[in-house]
Structure 1
Amino acid sequence: MEKELVLVTGGSGFIAVHIILKLLKRGYQVRTTLRTLSRQDEVKSMLEQGGAVNFENLEFIQTDLTSDINWMKAATDATYVIHVASPTPATRPDDGDEMVKMAVDGTLRVMKAAKAAGVKRVVLTSASGAVLAGHKSHPEIFTEEDWTDLSGDIDAYQRSKTMAELAAWKFAKKENMELSAVNPVAVMGPVLGQDFSHSNQIIRAMLSGNMPFLLKIGFDYVDVRDVAELHLLAMTCPEAAGERFIATTGENLTYKEEAKILQRYLGSTAKKVSTKVLPDFIIKFMAIFKKDLRMPATFLGQNTACSNAKAKKLLSWQPRSAEEAIVATAKSMIELGLIDK
């Protein structure tokens, strides 16, 4: 029997690499897209770091979210498409509208190619940013029924994720395609190289002593290995078609609680970790001048707790704890020498 081919977009990304690892271990053929093919070796070394031993079932193809070139070729013969590629806060263009356009247009390029190639199902990597942003008063726990309020005070990243996901659902409905969406919260877990999520940057900053003060905000967390697993469940389970799933451990932790976990598990390695929290009004003032504070500042005073009941019930998904995910991030960063001494 011929192996099923899965197209994974944005193969150098933190989540994508973990998805590719799982697909290869389960015996799938994987084709992955890169904006520049010079990153092939880097992706392979991250996969090796994650335990992959051979790459005979892996191929690379050059594509870009901003161009039509090669998308049709990329989707040809694929049974499934997992669309992970998206502009992130780390790679973002300075122009917020440009970021939104890139995410929406890129998603539609992938959806059109998948439709034309007769792909069985598309799994979209969305984000909790498409669920919970812009809601200043939302005391209940967020579920998959919730959508970000685009009229609220939200960052371009959340806007891009929300509008790209809405565009994907609209296209899937119109073209009668099978679509599932995975909406991860702050993604932690083993870092395999230089490419990791913006949530991981917080851990790096804490351990390097570059976060002398903390914001009074809490987020849900999830391990990247569990996010990858949820993508595979969303891809193969019949009941996942037409559904979105929040990937969270269901635990909402403040930055201070996160810092205390690092101190507890890492001892002297965490000696630069601060637990000093600054009042909201100071953060809001500082965000006017400090670009990297703008996005987190939009969440001050907001509930961000999410439910994982749907993924657990419908797909029997079992995530590891937030603590385990946070510690795995820190230990892998130390091991790879990514922490400033």
Structure 2
Amino acid sequence: MENSSLKPLVLVTGGSGFIASYCIIELLNNGYRVKASVRSLERTKEVKEMLTRGGIRNFKDLSFVEADLGRESGWDQAVAGCTYVIHPASPTPNPAAKTEEEFVRPAVNGVLWVLRAAKKAGVKRVVLTSAFGAVGYGTNKQSPYTEEDWSDLRQSLPAYQKSKTMSEKAAWDYVNGEGKGLELSVVNPVAVLGPVLGPDYSHSIRLIQGMLSGTIKGLPKITFPQVDVRDVADLHVKAMTHPDAKGQRFLASAGEAISNLDIARILREGLGEKAAKVPQREMPSWLIRIIGLFNPKVRLIVPHLGLYKEVSHDKASRLLNWEPRPTRDAVLATGRSLIDLGLV
């Protein structure tokens, strides 16, 4: 029997999160030991239940540590003994947020605390989960966005996208300066779909949940690329160990951008009667803007109205042999999981 102590240990931050939980699954399935950080150790049972739904049956190579992006303390303990760190933990869109600082400060501080602790502990490489929000906002580009592109901080960016841009820039500045010697790779996912494991899932999935439940009566006019969370996790693990991933960003996208109207059509065609409440028409953008004045959740959609973004994943495919599944598969897997878990 293999000695588990010889397996590399990987810290995955924000272990209860949607992307983080799939990173844990991918790592365990590939023979790594995993230490998952959670804000409170009381959440360990919840995380294990999600991982069980994701196919994990043995937790001997999984441990937990308490660490919070809102506090600097705890990160030295979290990274202790780790060869690698995957850092998906970050503030997510919060309808109740009053200021940009509620997104930006925890994101930037959290990245720097994790990187400093990793450097001190002798970690080989950190893989940061950034987002397309750090790539393609504040700019209108006709050709597909690539890893060479950055969101323009001189423009008025939505708070979440601004936080992703500033936190990723802070990470690169750190490893190119005082953190020199610590390796960094960054994954920039587009809208993340895929099988839901519990009530903690990506903001992108809330739209599909709203379609299936009938709470969304009309579709926002947004055309955006999607990606399956399982492929995002696979890309993280590839970026963690591949020699060519050192110092690189990787866009995670399944392919062509797809409209919300197309997503609705896929759900109706693939799920039949279970998608009976899915709307069939787009809603005028002016009406969504008016509703957003009174509804904080709708207000989060307003900055994205009219968006059409194309993204190239050529770099990840070429350097890391990464092949994402089709967008249709990701959409239907999302819908089926929401139905199976009784979340619609």
TM-score, length basis structure 1: 0.96
In the alignment, structure 1 residue 188 sits paired with structure 2 residue 190: no
* CA–CA distance in structure 1, aligned partners of residues 340 and 125 of structure 2: 37
* CA–CA distance in structure 2, aligned partners of residues 311 and 182 of structure 1: 9
In the alignment, structure 1 residue 144 sits paired with structure 2 residue 152: no
Q: What is the CA RMSD across the aligned residues, in angstroms? A: 1.3
The aligned runs of 1:68-87 (5 Å cut-off) are 68-87=72-91
The aligned runs of 1:276-315 (5 Å cut-off) are 276-315=281-320
- CA positional deviation for 1:287: 2.5
- CA positional deviation for 1:294: 2.8
In the alignment, structure 1 residue 38 sits paired with structure 2 residue 42: yes
1:20-69 deviation line (CA, Å, top 9, x unaligned) = 01111111110010001111000000000011011111111111112122
1:270 maps to which of 253, 269, 275: 275
The aligned residue for residue 333 of structure 2 is 328
The aligned residue for residue 216 of structure 1 is 221
In the alignment, structure 1 residue 260 sits paired with structure 2 residue 260: no
The aligned residue for residue 165 of structure 2 is 162
Q: Which amino acid counterpart does residue 241 of structure 2 have in structure 1?
A: T
* CA–CA distance in structure 1, aligned partners of residues 138 and 149 of structure 2: 11
Q: Which amino acid counterpart does residue 194 of structure 1 have in structure 2?
A: P
- Equivalent residues of 1:227, 1:247 under 8 A apart: yes
2:205 maps to which of 200, 203, 221: 200
- Equivalent residues of 2:220, 2:260 under 8 A apart: yes
Mark the runs of 5 or more structure 2 residues left unpaired by the alignment. none
- CA positional deviation for 1:292: 1.9
Mark the runs of 5 or more structure 1 residues left unpaired by the alignment. none
Partner secondary structure for residue 210 of structure 2: helix
- Equivalent residues of 2:221, 2:307 under 8 A apart: no
- CA positional deviation for 1:193: 1.0
Identity rate of aligned residues, in percent? 49
1:179-198 deviation line (CA, Å, top 9, x unaligned) = 00000111111111111111
- CA positional deviation for 1:93: 4.0
The aligned residue for residue 66 of structure 1 is 70
How many residue pairs get matched? 338
1:168-211 deviation line (CA, Å, top 9, x unaligned) = 00001112121000001111111111111111111110000011
Moved more, 69-78 or 256-265: 69-78
